[in-house]
Amino acid sequence: MTTEDWRAVIDVHLHGSFNVSRAAAPHFRAQQSGSFVFMTSTAGIIGAVGQANYSAAKAGMVGLSRSIALDMARYNVTSNAIAPFAWSRLIANTQPNDEAQKQRFEKFKEMKPSKVAALAVSLSTEAANHITGQIFTSRNNEIFLMSQTRPSRALHTAEGWTPQRIIEIAFPAINQSLVPLERSADVFSWDPI
């Protein structure tokens, strides 16, 4: 990937989200209400092969959304992110490898932007004033509240850690808690409903 390819995607997704947020924030603050709804991607929360720039930009949007939620809560402003599944021109340009993938693509065509819009609109209403700093995924007729990074395992030693002690004690202790290296298709392994 070239530096230009990296920058182009970061500029559109992450810098674009910042610029729009920066313009809206003073208005939301003045009116003491408002809702930010960011469109992130499972590439940003799960990862994607061959899309480091896009994944990084979309992960950055999750961090931006969460920070805005924390900063703007005192003004009754919410901020959430949606990682939508929807048929798009980018997916349409992908050629299926086999009949099973071709059938799966046909299911993806049912994932219309209007289904994502229903969630975005709902998050912008007064009924969602208590929902902020969250990540949702919308996939056809399914809505997922995504988990967020939190400690899953803690290890302590009074003597402190050395590289050797980490290798001998910590690594074996955390092996069962490691998050597998998966793609979006692995995490959402069933066809959309």
Instruction: List residues with catalytic annotation.
Output: 54
The whole-angstrom separation of Cα 128 and Cα 143 is 15
Going through the chain in order, the beta strands assigned E by DSSP cover 34-39, 77-85, 135-139, 142-145
* 192 touches 103 (CB < 8 A): no
Give Rg (Cα) of the chain: 20
The whole-angstrom separation of Cα 106 and Cα 188 is 17
Tell me how far the alpha carbon of residue 182 is from its chain's centroid. 15
β-pairing verdict for 135-139 and 34-39: unpaired
The whole-angstrom separation of Cα 18 and Cα 131 is 21
